[in-house]
Amino acid sequence: MGSFKNSVFILVLHLLEGALSDSLIQLNNNGYEGIVIAIDPNVPEDETLIQHIKDMVTDASPYLFEATEKRFYFKNVAILIPENWKTKPEYVKPKLETYKNADVLVAEPNPTGNDGPYTEQMGGCGEKGDRIYLTPDFLAGKKSRQYGPQGRAFVHEWAHLRWGVFNEYNNDQKFYLSNKRRKPVVCSEGFTGETVIQKCQGGSCVTQPCKLDRKTGLYEEGCEFIPHKDQREKASIMYSQSIDTVVEFCTEKNHNREAPNEQNKKCNHRSTWEVIQDSEDFKTTTPMTTQPPSPTFSLLQIGQRIVCLVLDKSGSMTIGNRLKRLNQAGKLFLLQTVEQGSWVGMVTFDSAAYVQSELVQINSATERDTLTKSLPTTASGGTSICSGLRSAFTVIKKKYPTDGAEIILLTDGEDNTISACFDEVKQSGAIIHTVALGPSAAQELEQMSKMTGGLQTYASDQVQNNGLVDAFAALSSGNKAVSQRSIQLESRGLTLQNSQWMNGTVTVDSTVGKDTLFLITWTTDLPQILLWDPSGNKQDGFIVDKNTKMAYLQIPDIAKIGVWKYSLQASSQTLTLTVTSRASSATLPPVTVTSKMNKDTGKFPSPMVVYVKIHQGTKPILRSKVTALIESVDGKTVTLELLDNGAGADATKDDGIYSRYFTAYDTNGRYSAKVWALGGVNTASQNASPQRNGAMYIPGWIENGEVKWNPPRPEINKDQGKQVCFSRTSSGGSFVATDVPKAPIPDLFPPCKITDLKAKIEGDNLINLTWTAPGDDYDHGRADKYIIRISTNILELRDKFNESLQVNTTDLIPNEANSEEVFVFKPETITFTNGTDLFIAIQAVDEVSLKSEISNIAQVSLFIPPEIPPEKPSPSLPCPDISINSTIPGIHILKIMWKWLGELQISLG
């Protein structure tokens, strides 16, 4: 049996390798299936929106097919309709489709008018994106002049989402110098247009040619490249799919590698088609010889939540107070996490299964209290997970189909027969969330979650880490409106000795406060519990359950905004504190923190990445303090500070997504992730997402020789957002580490790639470089040295970096990871004259000579401003008695002409 079990575990790991994604998308015979497009519950009911979605995908499919050389098309799409819309006979119940795993979200713009389609991309080049965002007005075609037809824009976003490519335009830098020429950031270079600027005053606007900036050699700020409406170029879709002739992605032959855009920066100056060719989609398909069918659509409407707890009460649950901890976590879920109106049942199992409660609808505290009394109190016997699951299916089927129902499976034991019910699980259509408790929980649990789209979590026996409570706190509905979901504000634990105190604070911000619950657990004796609200009023009334070893206090109405203080005193035992709440209003989006790992499996020495997204509605929350705790199966913990700095593991600066590499493996097996996020006086909500990974907003078109401007793009103000103070805790799920060698673990982690290298020219032809320091191990520690090389040929620098000219960096000592680096040098052996284009890249080296990938390539072009000609003196006039203050018209006109000619000479450069 042991060899069979090992082979199953190897199969599980094989199935789990690769990027972690909630998506249900599959590629089947060239067609994408399982696409989920969800309409946000806050979108006003409008049946025409459903038809707009259908029209967009139907138009997009043949465009995608031709653009990918007849490889891919859209086969079927599920449209998720909000629960608060009217029901219709053609609307059916979802199975595994949820808002959580939706690939596209249709939501109202924030701020109003910011209707640009965009894709959230947490990862780097070639890594799948997370979600596409569209607005009702975009789908209705009201923004087609700015973004092009909806179907074409959807293909642009699909390339972000599915293949991890980036934009080939740049809103922050629209022109660059190359070989003494000013060029617009376009791809390919064959697009035609005019460089003009629109100047408005007093309600009237005029279009003018752009002036030159004497310092940079580029055009003045506000200058735009306006394309001709009629073009001949076919590429590229990632530049502007809105141009009628564009039907292809840039290839190696026509890609503009010099253009300073995100595709070049993040993808090592490779074209989008080269990246697509490297994808698994491309490698597993061949071009079709027939035309694909039109997409089909299913209309799914969210209904009531149906969930059944399947809880292990086998003999091993007596170890380390696991059964009591299960009761503590189960009570939190039943009292607080599960939403009002949900149907909840309960099954326990050891060698057999036992129904503790049929499905009960939660309408009041009465049902919640009744369900908590069904939690198991004794443990014995073996472990039969399949028995528990089959019993849960039976409980659910008595009232509802199992399609779309949720099962929360907790177990701490091994079970060699678990694979016997995999087929039943698949056929059930139920979503299985798994909670692995302790080091010996069945190794197949992750596959159970993966095949059903459920959440996978792991909790160790280290009580102070509060992992089991966190796992259950994370199990709020993936389909309910965010205003109904339970939000975890705090989760702390500490082992106390000799009447020590556990002191701390919790911030209740204005976006939460409803149904606020303070939960304290202990391992031996009831501790002293002190809690004060922001006004300094001591809070009494904790309900104490000495048998389960927990106490909780539900704050009535809306909890006071501000800092709540707590003090807990105990001796020789471990205490934990958990605080949860809900949105204070259905109309004010709460600050939400969601976290995840980039993969289900970390294969040493490949690093893992922790991602945390902090938003309020669609607004990113910037400058938060975010900390992750990674715990191994051995109970060892590593703390990481996560950053939103656009360096290291972080793909985009200031987008509200905080990231960090994890390399501190200590053993094989499960690891759990937990996140704390704090917002203080320096924290702010950004008025809108940067939307760098979206379709280009065309400023205008040249039609019949005339510039026809579009309305100005809505301003994105990063610094004027409202300050936000908050505290949040979030479970990041779990992952499995493999191939970790025995201690001492060798150093096989190089410094991470530098992704934000910038260069500019200073006086006397000095080149100033800035970048974010990598570490010794990816973005941790300190690198040993830098190798900087330069070339006048971008491809030679990229492809023959080791042969390119090296800059003397003897005096350049690396700073600690994530510090700002500045280095100034003067090219000594390259003829650096007016118009010279110079390309620069960096490689970091650690103390054991492991090297990072080559950085993004920075470019400078030497521009020497022309001298300003001296003002010509006025010709002498034969009137010796004219005073110095005379105002003879002829002199004045000559001065104006000379000055105008001088300016003309400068502008011609």
- State the average pLDDT over residues 669-684: 90
Classified by CATH at the fold level, domain 600-692+717-736 comes out as Immunoglobulin-like (2.60.40)
Instruction: Specify the domain boundaries for CATH 2.60.120.380 within the chain.
Output: 480-585
Instruction: Specify the domain boundaries for CATH 3.40.50.410 within the chain.
Output: 303-446
Least confident of 69-83, 109-123, 264-278: 109-123
pLDDT at 481: 86
Catalytic sites, residue numbers: 157
756-860 homologous superfamily? Immunoglobulins (2.60.40.10)
pTM of the model: 0.90
Mean pLDDT for the chain?
91
Place 903 in a pLDDT band, splitting at 50, 70 and 90: very low
pLDDT at 713: 80
From 107, 128, 429, 65, select the one nearest 275 (Cα to Cα).
128
Give tens-digit pLDDT for 725-749.
Answer: 999 999 999 999 999 999 999 999 9
Contact 765, 836 (CB under 8 A): no
pLDDT at 865: 72
pLDDT at 180: 86
Least confident of 4-13, 473-482, 499-508: 4-13
- State the average pLDDT over residues 268-280: 98
Q: Does domain 480-585 have CATH number 3.30.70.260?
A: no
pLDDT at 828: 81
The answer for residues whose C-beta is within 8 angstroms of residue 618's C-beta and 6 or more apart is 107, 109, 110, 133, 688, 689
- Considering the four listed CATH numbers 3.30.479.30, 3.30.2270.10, 3.40.50.410, 3.40.190.10, the one that applies to the domain covering 303-446 is 3.40.50.410
Is the pLDDT confidence value at 535 over 70?
yes
Q: How far apart are CA 661 and CA 617, in angstroms?
A: 27
From 149, 169, 180, 283, select the one nearest 227 (Cα to Cα).
169
Instruction: Please state at what angle helix 47-67 crosses helix 150-163, rounded to 10 degrees.
Output: 70
Place 872 in a pLDDT band, splitting at 50, 70 and 90: low
Place 687 in a pLDDT band, splitting at 50, 70 and 90: low
Instruction: Specify the domain boundaries for CATH 2.60.40.10 within the chain.
Output: 600-692+717-736, 756-860
- State the average pLDDT over residues 399-417: 96
Residue found under tokens 């399947």: 310
Is the pLDDT confidence value at 901 over 90?
no
From 830, 753, 818, select the one nearest 786 (Cα to Cα).
753
Give tens-digit pLDDT for 618-635.
Answer: 889 999 999 999 999 999
The answer for residues whose C-beta is within 8 angstroms of residue 115's C-beta and 6 or more apart is 109, 135, 137, 138, 142, 143
Is the pLDDT confidence value at 321 over 70?
yes
Is the pLDDT confidence value at 652 over 80?
yes
Place 680 in a pLDDT band, splitting at 50, 70 and 90: confident
Least confident of 107-111, 768-772, 886-890: 886-890
* 505 C-beta neighbours (distance < 10 Å), count: 13
Q: Hey, what amino acid is at 282?
A: F
Give tens-digit pLDDT for 192-221.
Answer: 999 999 999 888 999 999 999 888 889 999
* Phi, psi of 188, deg, nearest 5: -80, -175
Task: Report the percentage of the chain scoring pLDDT > 70.
Answer: 91
